[in-house]
Homo-oligomer: A and B are copies of this chain.
Amino acid sequence: MHSNEREELILSLIRDKGFVSFRDLERRIVGSPATIRRDLERLALEGKLKRVHGGAKRVDAADMGAAPSSLAGVPFHENVHLNLGEKQLIGKAAAALCQPGEGVMIDGGSTTLQMCPHLAGLNLQVLTNSLHIVAALIGQRGTRVLVPAGAVFPEQNIILSVFGEDGMPRFHAPRLFMGAASIGPQGLMQADVVLVAGERRLIERADEVIVLADASKFEGSSGNVVCALEEIDTIITDSRIKRKAADMVAAAGVRLLIADQPRAVKG
C-alpha cells in the first residue's frame, strides 16, 4: 500500500465524516502505526487535516487564523491553505524572536500572517503595509498597529506610498519579518512586482531582516528579485528543506532556523 493510496483513503474518510479515529485507520491500512502517524503528520503540515488526540479531523476556519474583522472579508488566496501547518510553526518560531515591547515590521503574506496569533501579550508596536495583517492584529490586547500612508492596492491588499513619503519618517525597527514567493541564488523573490517597492522601503528601516519561507519556497524561482541573499539575516523554514538549498543559504551567511526542530540550527 503506497502513501498515495493511504493519503487518499485518509482524506476521503475525513471528507465524509469530518473525523477519523486512529484505531479506524489502523484497521483499514496495511502498515505500522508509525507510518499512519507520519501520514497524518505530513497531511497536517500541508493543512489538509487537523490532528487531534486519537485521530484527525477536518480543518475549519478557526484553525486558519481567519481574522474576525470586516477587513478580512476580502477573499484570501488559496495560498493560505497550502502548507498551513508548516506556516503555523514557522509563524510561531518567528514570533518567538520578538522582544516584548519592541517595534517590529511585518510584511504581508500567508506565512507572516501566521505570526499574528502568537504576538498577543507581547505589547509590540507593529508597522505593516498589509491590511490582512492589520485585520489579524486588530483588537489584540497590547498590540499597537501602525500603517504607512498611501494608496490601497486591492489585489494585494496592501498600502503603498504614492507621494514620496509615507508618513513614517523616523520609524526604525530592530526586526523585519518578510514572506517570499520563492528563494533562489538570485535572492528573495516575489511573484507580484507591486510588492517589491514597498518591501525595499521596509528593508531599509530594519536592523535585521527575517524571512519566513516554508521548504517549498526553495523549489521554483520565478518572480521579481526583492533583495539578494546577503541582505537577509535569518530565514525560518521547516525541516523538509533540501540539503542543497540549505547549503546555498549557509554560503550566503544567512542564519537558518528550522521551525519544526527548534534545536537544529543549520548555518
Contacts and interface: CB of A to CB of B under 8 A. Distances in A.
Contact of A151 (B18, B74, B145, B161): B145
Please tell me how many copies of the chain the complex holds.
2
A149 to B, nearest CB: 2
Nearest to A149: B167
A217 interface: no
Contact of A3 (B4, B54, B131): B54
A63 to B, nearest CB: 13
Given A52-B4, A71-B134, A163 B159 contact: no
A134 B135 contact: no
A33 interface: no
A146 B154 contact: no
A150 interface: yes
Contact of A154 (B74, B139, B161): B139
Contact of A146 (B4, B53, B152, B157): B152
Interface string A140-183: 10001111111110100101011101111110000000000000
Contact of A149 (B53, B54, B138, B149): B149
Nearest to A8: B18
Contacts of A131: 69-71, 131, 134, 138
Contact of A134 (B2, B132, B145, B152): B152
